[in-house]
Amino acid sequence: MALEDAKTEVDSAFTRKGLRGYAFENAFGGATSFLRRTYTKDLTGVDLAITGVPFDQAVTHRTGTRFGPRAIREASSLQPYDPPHGWPTNPLEDMAVIDYGDLAFDYAKTADFPETLTAHIRTILAAGAGTVTLGGDHYITFPILKAYAEKFGPLGVIHFDAHSDLWPDDDLTRIDHGTMMYKAVKQGYVDPRRSVQIGIRTTTEDYLGVNVITSREAHEWGVERVVATAKDIVGDAPTYVTFDIDALDPAFAPGTGTPVWGGLASWQAAAMLRDLAGINMVGGDIVEVSPPYDTTGATAIAGAHVAYELICLYHWARTQR
């Protein structure tokens, strides 16, 4: 850590010069953009935009994920001092990464939300940048995938979750975080043959052709086999990575709406994300962090680490493949 910089830097989300490099202000002070990136709506020259979607009106059980983006940003203040551990590259130095802020939407007009979010992501993609989105409940991935599919065609998806989100629901006016993947497959945004779900430990009658690695299989196979299988499934095609924090066991991430025992440990998730380096990742998200159910902040910390790993995967896909 640059101690001299720490004495003078503050609110670097607004005061920093340029869009690259680390930040050294005190972790406990200042404006909490993600990784102290510059808050801006200017997408000129931007490689990757971090954006928040504080939406939780699609949950089936406990609300609170609307506070997820804010908590993840705060937790990330511990991370922007050094290169990401375990990676041989420095995405914060090599890429122009910004905090694009949160999606603006009318909370009382839920029916308008999906297209509002799709347009938000569409704007970023049209500028030539990618996105890592901080949720919010898992429904948000469906409108995001729509924008990505418009640009890239049907996507491969690597989906970390306790739940498949493939429960049948052909009513597009229903906004439900448990059916977002079903809708994405049915709408042609996702190619199920090139998609894999990791950590599943709830029952689904029909996976619609999506490949599944259950939580027990992940434990028994080990990281190396899980990652090799996932890479083989998605291949070199454009791939979106969505990480529901309840993929982790509640012991590691209690702050979520629908916790299920038997999940991944933090070290397993970290190793899997790092070893996925080489996939053609075009975007990703971290969802279902619900701070009210975790007074320790551990879940938000895990969410911040996942988001940083997604940044690393995005960077690797553009520099090392």
What pLDDT digit, counting tens, does each position of 65-106 carry? 999 999 999 999 999 998 999 999 899 999 999 999 999 999
Supply the pLDDT for residue 202: 97
Residue 102, marked binder:
no
Rounded (5°) CA angle 287-292-296: 95
Contact between residue 262 and residue 38 where contact means Cβ atoms under 8 Å apart: no
Selected residue with higher pLDDT from 138 and 22: 138
**206 CB-contact burial (10 Å; exposed 0-12 / middle 13-18 / buried 19+):** exposed
Percent of the chain clearing pLDDT 90 (strictly above):
88
**Tokens 């209690």, residue located:** 254
Residue 159, marked binder:
no
Is the pLDDT score of 293 beyond 70? yes
Contact between residue 184 and residue 141 where contact means Cβ atoms under 8 Å apart: yes
Residue 161, marked binder:
yes
Distance between CA atoms of 221 and 200, rounded to whole angstroms?
14
Distance between CA atoms of 155 and 148, rounded to whole angstroms?
8
* Fold of the domain built from segment(s) 3-319: Arginase; Chain A (3.40.800)
Is the pLDDT score of 314 beyond 70? yes
Is the pLDDT score of 3 beyond 90? no
Helix axes of 68-75 and 298-319: crossing angle, nearest 10 degrees: 80
Supply the pLDDT for residue 4: 57
Distance between CA atoms of 307 and 304, rounded to whole angstroms?
5
Supply the pLDDT for residue 107: 95
pLDDT digits (tens, 9 = 90+) for 155-200: 999 999 999 999 999 988 999 998 999 999 999 999 999 999 999 9
User: What is the average pLDDT score of the chain?
Assistant: 95
Q: What would the mean pLDDT of 211-219 be, rounded to a whole number?
A: 98
Residue 176, marked binder:
no
Strands 211-214 and 97-102: unpaired
Kindly state the helix (H) or strand (E) to which residue 239 belongs, with its residue range.
strand 239-244
Contact between residue 135 and residue 241 where contact means Cβ atoms under 8 Å apart: no
Residue 138, marked binder:
yes
In the chain, domain spans? 3-319
Residue 246, marked binder:
yes
